[in-house]
Structure formats: structure tokens, C-alpha cells
Amino acid sequence: MRTVFQAELKQVGDELVAIARLVRQALSEARSAFLETELETAQGVISNDARIDLLQDELDERSIDILARQSPVASDLRTLVAALRMSTSLERMGDLARHLAQDARRRFPEAVIPERLADDYARLFELDLAILDGVIEMLETRDISFYERIAEQKAQVSAMHRGILDAMGRPDWDAPVHTTVDVTLSARYLERMSDHGIAVARKVSYLVTGQWAPPA
């Protein structure tokens, strides 16, 4: 019976990794759609988000079923509760990638952001993708040494987000209202992506050490 239980826990972990990989793919494709105004790519991200939602629902149902049947305690209970919370964070990251793709589709064939911010956005996408890579490694290996790097990347995202907001408040900001709104929202989406990434990393660290890592 214990062997079956451990196999079920492993399946939950494998499903978390599968969701994280789909989110990583969604963000990578959203980057292309957003920065390179690729309409077909944007539509693919939007359509494929349903797959992430479905996998999250299935993982949550599986975790709740295990809780009901096995009545786990101690570390096993923490693992299942953490899986439920991590799946929510990953699903929201998928939603954020979808939002970015929707921005690209709505403004096509024009760019969502002004040229002056293109390098900043490219860096934000790069950092968020790196955070997801670290999250996937932590989920697969439980190697908490990745946490410090993810925290640093998250701090960089936060600083860049503040910088973009500051740029919009300067006297030389002359973008039209709809562009200002797009920049405000899309920068927030990318910042929130890093928030959810560090949240998942903290939960993995907690499962390994029994202690909460300091917030980024």
C-alpha cells in the first residue's frame, strides 16, 4: 500500500513538472508573438492555455483524491497541499502568458510597446524564462540551490518593472493613451510572472528544508 501511495505522490510531482514545461513553452511563444508581432503564434498561445487549465484541474482532483483516501501526515501532507498551491501559481503564469499573447493579437500588425522599450521587454521575458527554467529544475530535482538565483532574477524583474513605470512618468513620455495602458498592463503581467515563479520556488524549498525561504 505504501508503494502505491509513493507512486501516486510521484505522479503528482511529474504532473507539476509537465504543467511548468507547458507554461515555459507558452511564455516563450508569447515572447515571439509580443516582440515580433506574430499573429499565428499569439493565437496558438491563447488556444493552448486550455491545456494548462485542464492539467491543473486533473492534478488538483488527483491530489484531493489522495488526501481523501490516504489521510497522509507530516511531509506527505505538506507535499500534497503544496502541490495544490503550486499548481495554482503555475496556472496563473499560463494565464499571464495568454494575456501577453492577447495583447499582441489585439494590436497586430502594430507593436504593443514603443520601440524605446523593446530592449527592456526583451530582458524581462529573458528573466522570466530563466526563472521558469529554475523552477522546473527545482521541481524535478528538489535542488534548492536554484532558489538564490531565482530570487536574484525576480529582484531584477521588479527593478525593471519600476523603471518602466518611472519612464512613463517622465516629461518626454509622449506615447498615446492606448500604448500607455498596454505598457502598464504588460509590464505588470511580466512582473507578476516572476512573483508566481518565486512563490513556487519557495514552496519547493520549504518541502526540502521544512523552513520558508525569505521572500525575494
pTM of the shown model: 0.94
Pick the CATH number of 1-209 from 1.20.58.220, 3.40.1550.20, 3.40.50.1000, 3.20.20.330: 1.20.58.220
**Sequential pLDDT tens for the chain (216 residues):** 577 778 888 999 999 999 999 999 999 999 999 999 999 999 999 999 999 999 999 999 999 998 888 878 788 888 999 999 999 999 999 999 999 999 999 999 999 999 999 999 999 999 999 999 999 999 999 999 999 999 999 999 999 999 999 999 999 999 999 999 999 999 999 999 999 999 999 999 999 888 887 777
Indicate the domain borders of the chain. 1-209
Grid cell 489521510 is found at: 71
The Cα–Cα gap between 15 and 99 comes to 23
Residue 61: exposure state from Cβ atoms within 10 A (0-12, 13-18, ≥19): exposed
Q: Are 99 and 216 in contact (CB under 8 A)?
A: no
Pick the closest to residue 84 from 105, 57, 49 (CA basis). 57
Provide the Cα torsion 205, 85, 66, 2; round to 10°.
0
Pick the closest to residue 204 from 91, 26, 75 (CA basis). 75
Q: In degrees rounded to 5, what are phi and psi of residue 109?
A: -90, 5
Q: Please report, for residues 31, 60, 141, the alpha-carbon distance to residue 82 in angstroms, rounded to integers and kept in the order given.
A: 29, 11, 16
**Sequence-ordered list of residues with C-beta below 8 angstroms from that of 50, at least 6 positions apart, any chain:** none
pLDDT for position 12: 93
